[in-house]
Structures are given as structure tokens and as C-alpha cells.
A = this chain, B = another copy of it.
């Protein structure tokens, strides 16, 4: 099959979908040995500067409208729901510090997390549980999802804006090393019975990584 034909196929597949597709899924529709990476970057180039662009998000590929045309399209959608300041901050802390516990979010913000904020972020499918920390109380940690990456047009959490600066300034170090001890960390209410039926001691921290 010719290259141009292979490009047509991935173009058709990607154009038809409103969700990002992985290169593996795309390769499934191509003949054995197709150079999917090259095909994708060819296609991306062909759409450079057009009204629709091919972008890589969360390690997958999708077509979306060119960002500079947002002014035209925005009026077509409903006013998006605005996140509260607290929710935005919480989301940022979770994104940059993940995996992070609820207590750590509170520590960074210096205020306890009001109810419903995590709920909202999880409902938007931006935040997800990421396993328990192996510390006393085995607190639940949270991180961001692929959906978060897609929404904000990020290929991985390593591409978060300002991540390098935050890291260089030492702001992403273990939250507790800088403790002021203003907020009491010991929240017995956060402790909970472990789900029986799973006795394995397993690793929790998995670092920022797009699954």
C-alpha cells in the first residue's frame, strides 16, 4: 500500500473520531510494518496552518480546531461552567504534586479542603484516585487522568506549564518536609478500613506518568 493511501486511512480514522486515538489502535488498521510514527508526523505537517490541526494529547492523536480560531467558535458553545478558585488551585496542586494526598493539598493551600471540590474534579474526570500512600493511615493519593491531559492539550504531565520552574524553585519537594505544622495532619476520619479481599502489599506511588 502506498504511503499516501496509508495517510488517507489514518486521516479518515482520526477525522471521524472525537476522541484521541493511540498510534497502536491506528496501526491496527494499517498493513503490517507501516511506519505509523512517520505517517502521523507527515499528516501533522500537512495540517499545519490549516483551520484544523492534528495534535498529540495524552500520548494519543486527535484532530481539533486551530486555537487561534477560538474566538469564532466559542460563541457556539454554552458558557462553560466556571470552576471556583479553590477548585482550580486544588486541581493545580494535584496536577503538579501528584500523587498527592488530601492532607497535602490542604497543607499547600493552608486551608482545609471544603467538601465537594474533589467531587467536582472527579466528576469532570480530571482527577482520579492513584492508590494509597505507604505511610501510617495509608491515605489515598490523587492524580490527574488522561482526560485531564486531553482537555488541556497536554501530551503528558511532564508538559505541564511551569513545571520545570516549580521544580527548580524546590516547590515540588515532598510537601511535608516544609511543614509549618499549622494544619493537623492526623485526621482519623480519613483513615478507613482497607478493602478486605486484597492482602497484597503493593506499591502506591507511581510518580507523574500518563497511564
- Contacts from A to B (Cβ < 8 Å): 7-13, 15-17, 29, 49-52, 63, 65-66, 69, 72-73, 75-76, 96, 98-99, 102, 113, 115-120, 122, 128-132, 140, 143, 145-146, 153-165, 168-171, 173, 182-183, 185-186, 189-200, 202-208, 211
- Taking the closest CB of chain B, its distance from the CB of A77, in whole angstroms, is 9
Q: Which of B9, B52, B169, B203 contacts A122 (CB 8 A)?
A: B169
Q: Which of A158, A171, A205 has the most CB of B within 10 A?
A: A158
Contact across chains for A195 and B11 when beta carbons are under 8 A apart: no
In the complex, what residues of B have CB within 8 A of residue A158's CB? Answer: 131-132, 194-195, 198, 202
- Taking the closest CB of chain B, its distance from the CB of A13, in whole angstroms, is 6
In the complex, what residues of B have CB within 8 A of residue A157's CB? Answer: 195, 197-198
Contact across chains for A161 and B140 when beta carbons are under 8 A apart: yes
Chain B: CB-nearest residue to A119: B170
- How many copies are assembled? 2
In the complex, what residues of B have CB within 8 A of residue A122's CB? Answer: 169
Contact across chains for B168 and A118 when beta carbons are under 8 A apart: yes
Contact across chains for A161 and B193 when beta carbons are under 8 A apart: no
Contact across chains for B196 and A15 when beta carbons are under 8 A apart: no
- Taking the closest CB of chain B, its distance from the CB of A174, in whole angstroms, is 11
Contact across chains for B12 and A195 when beta carbons are under 8 A apart: no
Contact across chains for B73 and A16 when beta carbons are under 8 A apart: yes
In the complex, what residues of B have CB within 8 A of residue A120's CB? Answer: 170
Q: Which of B63, B115, B164, B193 contacts A173 (CB 8 A)?
A: B115
- Taking the closest CB of chain B, its distance from the CB of A93, in whole angstroms, is 12
Contact across chains for B99 and A197 when beta carbons are under 8 A apart: yes
In the complex, what residues of B have CB within 8 A of residue A160's CB? Answer: 129, 195
Contact across chains for B207 and A202 when beta carbons are under 8 A apart: yes
Contact across chains for B51 and A204 when beta carbons are under 8 A apart: no
Contact across chains for A129 and B161 when beta carbons are under 8 A apart: yes
